[in-house]
């Protein structure tokens, strides 16, 4: 079933409902743009109070993927799947096989992989039903596997470059507050520690926090205190919408650079950050490492291509921050404008 939602964003193409074999709806696949290639983006598995919230999240995330893929110079459009995590017990493999059927029914218009709440094992269940999936277990000498270490690498390199650019300092001795210590957040914490940064961390999952406190000597704070923690840099690595009218006035960090998608609740929040003199590294610019790895796996590119593309992320960020500073425009606006321009060129070329 395909319908066009009322909440149309700038390039919105389609929303596809994902259902079980019994016809029970379990989520959606949002395709934002296929101007540059098949729509690529991970599958989020999360609990939403309302179906409308799930769909709105999928649409925003799909747009972010279009922009991310365009700026990362990948031959991919943008899409995202969001599945509702059931409250009680459920057959996980059956759910991801049903999702695989939905991906297959789109005939390659959408390519999936991991996102929040999904794993390499889930993608293996999807693979039973479709070949339009990446993030599968890596074969020796080939690209593939869990994308999150690559995402963490891109965020880390971006943070190091942005710290020099905006704070005039290397990470050694700086304090970084990391919100969310899941796959990306934990990997990022390890790299930061190795670079000599001090860590303040929070996660709703206390076991994850305790493990990193023991391993890295990080300082734990409550989930309500992490955004306003005393830190030089804030790295949002949990869910979106954390930078908003309520949180921005409380921030102490002077630089924000993290993995979470859609960190700004609205575009205007980018202006509010700029007005406070806080440098914001646009999320989809710095967190492209994962999709770069997914793309290489899907397109059969060698691991060296992944390294090369990830090495381009930090210089791309600095070019954006530099323009933002020179033109006195928020960095998210500079990034969005560049991404839209690339997509528009792709649309014209395809027409």
- Tell me the C-alpha distance between 277 and 28, whole Å: 38
Instruction: Report if residue 175 touches ligand NAI, rule: CB under 6 A.
Output: no
Instruction: Report if residue 14 touches ligand NAI, rule: CB under 6 A.
Output: no
Residue least distant from ligand NAI (Cβ): 182
Instruction: Report if residue 185 touches ligand NAI, rule: CB under 6 A.
Output: yes
- Tell me the C-alpha distance between 277 and 271, whole Å: 10
Tell me, residue by residue from 221 to 260, as one string, x for binding to ligand NAI by CB under 6 A and - for no binding.
--x-------------xxx-------------------xx
Q: Which residue has the tokens 């921005």?
A: 248
181 is in an annotated binding site: yes
Closest contact distance (angstroms) between CB of 271 and ligand NAI is: 22
- Tell me the C-alpha distance between 292 and 278, whole Å: 28
Query: Hey, what are 220's tokens?
Result: 């734990």
Task: Confirm if 155 and 286 have CB atoms less than 8 A apart.
Answer: yes
Q: Is 80 a catalytic residue?
A: yes
Instruction: Report if residue 335 touches ligand NAI, rule: CB under 6 A.
Output: no
- 262 or 328: CB nearest ligand NAI: 262
Q: Which of 68, 80, 142, 252 is catalytic?
A: 80
Expressed in percent and rounded to 5, the helix, strand and coil fractions of the chain are 45, 15, 40
CB crowding 304-326: b at 16 or more within 10 Å, else e: ebbeebbebbbebbbebbebbee
- Tell me the C-alpha distance between 92 and 14, whole Å: 26
Closest contact distance (angstroms) between CB of 146 and ligand NAI is: 8
Q: Which residue has the tokens 């390519």?
A: 111
- 124 or 325: CB nearest ligand NAI: 124
Residues contributing to the annotated binding site? 180-185
Contact positions toward ligand NAI, by CB under 6 A? 114-117, 147-148, 151, 179-185, 202-205, 208, 223, 237-239, 259-261, 287, 290
Q: Which residues are catalytic?
A: 80
């Amino acid at each position: 079933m395909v319908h066009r939602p009322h909440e149309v964003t700038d390039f919105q193409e389609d929303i596809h409902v994902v259902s079980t074999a019994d016809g029970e709806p379990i989520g959606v696949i949002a395709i934002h743009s296929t101007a540059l290639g098949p729509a690529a983006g991970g599958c989020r598995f999360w609990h939403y109070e309302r179906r409308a919230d799930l769909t709105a999240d999928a649409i925003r995330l799909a747009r972010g993927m279009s922009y991310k893929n365009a700026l990362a110079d990948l031959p991919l459009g943008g899409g995202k799947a969001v599945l509702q995590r059931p409250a009680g017990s459920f057959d996980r493999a059956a759910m991801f096989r049903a999702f695989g059927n939905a991906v297959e029914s789109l005939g390659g218009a959408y390519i999936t992989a991991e996102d929040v709440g999904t794993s390499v094992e889930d993608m293996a269940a999807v693979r039973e039903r479709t070949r339009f999936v990446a993030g599968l277990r890596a074969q020796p000498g080939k690209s593939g596997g869990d994308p999150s270490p690559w995402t963490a690498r891109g965020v880390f390199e971006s943070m190091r470059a942005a710290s020099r650019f905006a704070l005039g300092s290397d990470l050694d001795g700086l304090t970084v507050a990391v919100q969310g210590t899941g796959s990306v957040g934990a990997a990022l914490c390890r790299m930061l520690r190795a670079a000599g940064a001090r860590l303040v961390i929070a996660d709703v999952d206390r076991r994850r926090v305790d493990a990193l406190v023991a391993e890295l000597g990080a300082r734990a704070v409550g989930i309500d205190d992490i955004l306003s923690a005393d830190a030089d840099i804030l790295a949002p690595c949990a869910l979106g919408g954390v930078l908003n009218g309520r949180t921005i006035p409380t921030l102490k960090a002077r630089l924000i650079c993290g993995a979470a998608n859609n960190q700004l609740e609205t575009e205007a929040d980018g202006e509010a950050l700029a007005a406070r003199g806080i440098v914001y590294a646009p999320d989809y610019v710095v967190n492209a490492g994962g999709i770069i790895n997914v793309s290489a796996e899907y397109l059969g590119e060698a691991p060296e291509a992944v390294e090369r593309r990830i090495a381009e992320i930090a210089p791309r960020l600095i070019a954006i921050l530099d323009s933002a500073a020179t033109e006195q425009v928020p960095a998210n606006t500079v990034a969005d404008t560049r991404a839209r321009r690339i997509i528009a060129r792709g649309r014209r070329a395809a027409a």
